[in-house]
Amino acid sequence: MNYQVHPTAIVDEGAEIGEGSRVWHWVHVCGGAKIGRGVSLGQNVFVGNRVEIGDQCKIQNNVSVYDNVTLEEGVFCGPSMVFTNVYNPRALIERKNEYKDTLVKKGATLGANCTIVCGVTIGRYAFVAAGAVVTKNVPDYALMAGVPARRIGWMSAYGARLDLPLEGDGEALCPHTGERYVMKEGRVFSSP
């Protein structure tokens, strides 16, 4: 085994876990899960059967990653944040055939206690603030806050706020790395 598993954790047979990953206290990884290299699963994390977690993701304590959630490389899930997989759950009606896919793209941050309602895509390097409730797709580099979440700004890949307008065209430099970002036609992208 080329990854670490705490003695209290349960990793079901068939689960794929990449080299250098760490599975901490009271974690349960279901048998169909696919977890990349260098991933950290904090205390009391649950990973469902139909879940894919990319390399170098960090999932903090008390997060359940339910079926039909995909995390690309380098996603950060803050403590006690929530994924859903059924849009209109009822205890008395089984809706396992209605799970909606949720995709969190490379480098995104999901803050502590935020909620990601199923069926959305979170863009590359987006930043969802603590406690926000995301109900719609989030563009690349967007800074989202509130209930329901709305875009209040833009973030660099480094995680610094960018001096870009909410609408219209513009350019900004990351204050930490000097990387240049361009906003054009409502989309932000890094530019050489």
Which CATH number characterizes residue 123's domain? 2.160.10.10
Q: Is residue 189 part of a domain?
A: no
| φ and ψ of 98, to 5 deg | -110, 10
Has this prediction a pTM greater than 0.85? Answer: yes
Q: Is residue 173 part of a domain?
A: no
Structural domain range at position 122 = 4-156
Q: What is the pLDDT of residues 151-178, one digit of tens each?
A: 999 999 999 999 999 988 999 999 999 9
Q: Is residue 56 part of a domain?
A: yes
CA 106: distance to chain centroid?
A: 8
Domain total of the chain: 1
Q: Is residue 175 part of a domain?
A: no
Q: Is residue 163 part of a domain?
A: no
> Who contacts 143 (Cβ-Cβ below 8 Å, separation ≥6)?
126, 127, 129, 151, 152, 153, 154, 155, 161
Q: Is residue 169 part of a domain?
A: no
